[in-house]
A and B are shown apart, each in its own frame.
Chain A
Amino acid sequence: MDYLQTKGRIFDIQRYSIHDGRGIRTICFLKGCVLRCKWCCNPESQEYAVQEMTVRGKTRVIGQDVTVAEVMETVEKDRPYYNRSGGGLTLSGGESLCQPEFARDLLRAAKAAGINTAMESMACAKWEVIGQILPYLDHYLMDIKHMNSAKHKAYTGKGNELMLENAGKIAAFRQTKLSIRVPVIPTFNDSIEEIRDIAVFADKLPGVEDIYLLPYHRLGQDKYEGLGRMYELPDILPPEPEHMQMLKKVVEANSKLRCQIGG
């Protein structure tokens, strides 16, 4: 049971999460990310270092070192809700794969306790890292942001080759359900062609059945100021509902995937 003592760094645990995987879930947000997406709504997740952020005039320390056992204590509290809804634990970030042992052991602890597991991730890590997590993971919610590596790099800081390669490997594993999530960001990837390309790619991944189009929102904007940072996309607006519906039709016309707007 040593894995219960593995330590990791998180910045939040959010209960009653209902848009990130099946059922009512508890999300554990791990700190640290490989990408620097310009639209990121959780900018406090990006740095691994513990930070200070100003929230409504008060200074808050972001980042806390905890053991797997400590996180599980909170996760256990909502077991009745998981039982009724098919929910469980979801890891999010940041990129959980930046803390591979902690992520693996958290998922392992949940599985050992009979709790369903999910992870939101870009799959931006060495395959060995992902490979040792998959046996403990029921549902991989993988972000694919763009099929063009250069544009991907311009907006997130990294090209997409590794992630797309991993997507194929995760799909081939078949023991973990894989769903694709696409943040729809105006000026970045909200054109018909860009969404279509992602859908066509996702459709070819064996076993993938669902794709989620997550409309851009700017609800994280305040946090940039709180961190003393500049928000680099101050001028874009959330996509109109009609535009999202149109993109959904594009996905459905170009793939066999079930497409849903929102998580």
Chain B
Amino acid sequence: MEKYYTLEIPKTDRIPKLVAHLYAKMPEIESARARLITESYKETEALPVIMRRAKAFEHILDNIPIIIRENELIVGSTTIAPRGCQTYPEFSYKWLEEEFETVATRKADPFYIADQTKRELLEADAYWEGKTTSELATSLMAEETRKAIDHNIFTPGNYFYNGVGHVTVQYDKVLAVGYEGIIAQVEEELAKCDPGDRDYCTRSQFLQAVLISCRAVIRYALRYAELAEKEAAGCADGARKKELLQIASNCRRVPAKGATGFYEACQSFWFVQQLLQIESSGHSISPGRFDQYMYPYYKKDLEEGRLTREFAQELLDCIWVKLNDLNKCRDAASAEGFAGYSLFQNLIVGGQDRDGNDVTNDLSFMCITASKHVFLPQPSLSIRVWNKTPHALMLKAADLTRTGIGLPAYYNDEVIIPSLLNMGLTMEDAREYNIIGCVEPQKAGKTEGWHDAAFYNMCRPLELVFSNGYDKGEKISIETGRVEDMATFEEFYDAYKKQMNYNISLLVNADNAIDVAHATRCPLPFLSCMVDDCIKRGKTVQEGGAVYNFTGPQGFGIANMADSLYAIKKLVFEEKKVTLAEYKRALAMNYGQGFDEISAAEIATQIVREMEATGMKVDESQIAAMIATVMDTELPAEEKQKYEALRAMIDEVPKFGNDIEEVDMFARDVAYTYTRPLLHYQNPRGGQFQAGLYPVSANVPLGAQTGATPDGRLAHTPVADGVSPSAGKDVHGPTAAANSVSKLDHGIASNGTLFNQKFHPTALSGEKGLENFVALIRSYFDQKGSHMQFNVVDRETLLDAQKHPEKYAHLVVRVAGYSALFTTLSKSLQDDIIRRTEQGF
């Protein structure tokens, strides 16, 4: 018999109906949670915070409106409106009030909000003034840290405004023993508490808070059982009636008790997944190794003839749809950084067990099929790749990649496991890792990883080198000397490292302040009862209850900094073609390409500061006039030519991403300026900082906060994505780019690295295309790359490339005996390619 079943199981008619229902309308903001938590908080002011959290959670679950959507087999919806979202005023709320009028019309992730909802939110929010985690965090930060944030050196906005999320809990435990099992365990721990114990107060309060939370969850499921029974009674359609009664029966059993079969396991999983996201607004609540913990239930049912593969697939598909039912409204700036309504619920298949055996099973394949059937962004499907990953699973994954959905992401066990060992995990735990959110590895049910702690813009400290610590006329960092006086590259690079180190210390301060704020104001008893060793230690994950504790802020702009520093090394210090003073002026003048409104405002601010410093008063109209003047300023032709000549020179300097040993090894060293210093810092939970190198989609908005860089990049254009080369700078194809990227030290960036590649569909066509594609991934991983994901370009992308060739300079179109960079072709031939693309594979 085959070790696993690899054939594709067909999709049922139910799935497109569920998807259509979900996407019929713009998602909507609802007020129920905000109202309920506020009601509860008003009545619990005398209680310890942990108890207030539990009672609020209970009050929400007992009263929040519930709904069973048409055709659903798995139930549990956080909002009445499909894909709606609740709000979480305990973390922050002001931004939403400020965006009430624009949230429905903004470009990134709009949400509808009814006038009635606005009024209800305003009423609830009023209670939270001064009580949020974000306000406490601000007051905990050093003044220079707040300044650095104001000046966009880094942004810890994600956890500043929201819950933390970024966790994988013990789904397996809930599936096995249910919340009644957890309650029994907690009661046992409570019985051991002696009022004379040093930590009796906090421990016993925490354990009681867990009991309240678990009981609330059981009651919440029972509400669904009752609703299903009620709907069944009024249902004329016999088939649906049967389904509803089955739903009722499931919800009566789970998640209170252990699941007796696969269907119950699916429903139990879903309640955990959904309710974690009612307790807190943190995203990246990741299902993790779903194919592993669900498999025993699937296997048993299948063997005992209680389940068909077709029905199992339909249930998986239903869960995949439900994962897209959950939603979150972020502030406008964050929405751009996380564009696509994504909750980054990462679900990973394949890999090895704690003893190092491959664990691919039927469900690994069926999970990939589910993503193909449902064809929605959630879950963020991932696959673990190691030397013993079956080729069939790789081909199955590649077949999904070529649909253009951008899934799955591929992860390399051979790099990630050693890097986790290096961070103190045991071998067994490291082998069982899964991915959180985008690319962050951790051991499920034991880790509070704070994986997405901040975005740190590596380009900004270089700007501070040129400005000697000033930004917009204000001193915001240390002084590292005038660049005009720097005589060697070492001196210059050293100044960069000093600016990096100083700002990294402020980044740590920002994260730790937010960390303390969460522990103080929003400890999470429900989540904590599913993470070891909270129950034993008698405290939440926010207070250090987890076995493994990390903080992982992301650095980005590696490629820009590598190319920038290398260009300075070559042009200024080795070839002496330009001085640092000239470079500085060229950057300030945006290489003569004119100023946009942001630059003009920055320049005006600087002038105003200088004027005010001498005692002069400046009013609004003068500032506006100044901005207009700056924007209209036309540089003398001679000066403009000089900058253009400089940019042409920079263009000739070799760039990261082209498999040039010297440049790539230089980039490796530049990445260390971020990854190494971070390892020296500790967080308040008793854990260590660790670096990630990935930007989600923040490279665009944060690039907009960055001036011109010495690699020739113009002001406010996007910076490079993850560890990928700068857009359009890698011109020797995917193998050269992958070789360059693999030369970075991925092992030290133990919070994950992200490498994106774009392919034209011709590269993946046919069986041979898939084989070669798999070989490409394998070869990158042989060279110790950590992560890879792919966009297969579609017609729209190519149309965009016709309009913005500079963004797509690396896009190669290949046919036998011929290949060309798409952007170098004439319009009519590009149209030929676009037609070819539509013919697909």
Contacts and interface: CB of A to CB of B under 8 A. Distances in A.
B772 A219 contact: no
A19 interface: yes
A41 B771 contact: no
Contact of A17 (B659, B776, B819): B819
Contacts of B776: 16, 24, 81, 84-85
Contact of B735 (A42, A78, A120, A218): A78
Nearest to B805: A56
A221 B827 CA distance: 12
B736 interface: yes
Interface string B724-758: 00000000111110010000000000000000000
A263 B816 contact: yes
Interface string A73-100: 0000110110111010000100000000
A221 B829 contact: yes
Q: B765, B771, B824 — which one has the most chain A CB atoms within 10 A of its CB?
A: B771
Contact of A219 (B768, B778, B829): B829
Contacts of A228: none
Interface size class of A (residues with CB under 8 A): 35 or more
A91 to B, nearest CB: 12
A80 B782 contact: yes
A262 B765 contact: yes
Contacts of A262: 765-766, 815-816
Contacts of B826: 221-222
B818 A120 contact: no
Interface string B775-801: 110110011000000000000000000
Given A18-B763, A42-B818, A220-B818, A85 B775 contact: yes
A200 interface: no
A17 B782 contact: no
B116 interface: no
B105 interface: no
> Main secondary structure on chain B at its contact with chain A?
helix
B824 A181 contact: no
A221 B768 CA distance: 28
A14 B659 contact: no
Interface string A6-27: 0000000011111110011000
Given A77-B739, A85-B771, A18 B825 contact: no
Nearest to B763: A18
Nearest to B839: A241
A85 B772 contact: yes
B778 A84 contact: yes
A239 to B, nearest CB: 12
B196 interface: no
B769 interface: yes
B816 A214 contact: yes
> Main secondary structure on chain A at its contact with chain B?
mixed
A150 interface: no
Contacts of B820: 219
A135 interface: no
B780 to A, nearest CB: 8
Contacts of A87: 772, 775
A24 B817 CA distance: 13
A84 B816 contact: no
B832 interface: yes
B832 A217 contact: yes
B814 interface: yes
A23 B735 contact: no
Contacts of B659: 77
A181 B816 contact: yes
Contact of B733 (A14, A19, A212): A14
Contact of B768 (A14, A18, A81): A18
A81 B775 contact: yes
Contacts of B815: 19, 214, 217, 219, 262-263
A181 B815 CA distance: 13
Contacts of B782: 80, 83-84
Contacts of B733: 14-16
Contacts of B832: 217-219, 238
A233 interface: no
Interface in B797-841: 812-820, 824-826, 829, 832-833, 839
Contacts of A181: 816
A241 B841 CA distance: 11
A20 B817 CA distance: 6
A55 interface: yes
Contacts of B825: 219, 222
A165 B217 CA distance: 82
Contacts of A41: 817-818
Contacts of A23: 771-772, 775
A64 B676 CA distance: 44
A42 B816 CA distance: 12
Q: Which 7 A-B pairs have the closest CB atoms?
A: A263-B816, A85-B775, A84-B775, A16-B733, A19-B816, A80-B779, A81-B779
Interface of B: 659, 732-736, 739, 762-763, 765-766, 768-769, 771-772, 775-776, 778-779, 782-783, 812-820, 824-826, 829, 832-833, 839
18 contacts: A18-B763, A19-B762, A19-B815, A20-B816, A23-B772, A24-B779, A77-B735, A77-B736, A80-B783, A81-B775, A81-B779, A83-B782, A85-B775, A120-B817, A212-B816, A219-B829, A221-B826, A222-B825
Given A214-B817, A222-B829, 18 more contacts: A14-B819, A16-B776, A17-B814, A20-B817, A24-B772, A24-B776, A77-B659, A83-B779, A84-B778, A85-B775, A87-B772, A92-B817, A181-B816, A214-B815, A220-B818, A222-B826, A262-B766, A262-B815
